[in-house]
Structure 1
Amino acid sequence: MGDIMEFKKELLKGTVVARGYSMQDVAEWLDINLSTLYRKISRNGDFSRAEIKILTKRLNLDEQERDSIFFGI
């Protein structure tokens, strides 16, 4: 059985850029190296709940946007 949740990495990257930020900004918000951020992204969005909360706040995502990016809902 496949994963119910589907992380949408291109949607995350596009949202970051559309909001005027860079992936380096995202890494700094999460207090991780840029290479660690890309590794998380390549591992199908291996973000903790706390990290998702930080990104939701920093990117000013509404609930629907958050769910679409991180959970494919």
Structure 2
Amino acid sequence: MAATALKTNRAAAIGEIYTEAGIEALNAALADRGIGADRIISILPVAAETLMSAKAAQFRVLYRAI
């Protein structure tokens, strides 16, 4: 059982990208990288920053890397 856990806990098994917080931008980024819906683990909203450095809202996408 321990050998199975070691094989699945690889650092390179999870990929991460940030995109603009819009469906069109998200879909375009996923398509550009060849990431299908079956590989997506989570899509997390990242809040915009307005005080110190103006950054627009983003999506953080976690996916299974090949």
Mark yes or no: TM-score above 0.5.
no
Larger helix share, 1 or 2: 1
Instruction: State the TM bucket, normalised to the shorter chain.
Output: 0.3 to 0.5
Larger strand share, 1 or 2: 2
TM-score (norm 1): 0.30
Determine which structure has greater relative contact order: mean sequence separation of CA pairs < 8 Å that are 6+ residues apart, divided by chain length: 1
TM-score (norm 2): 0.33
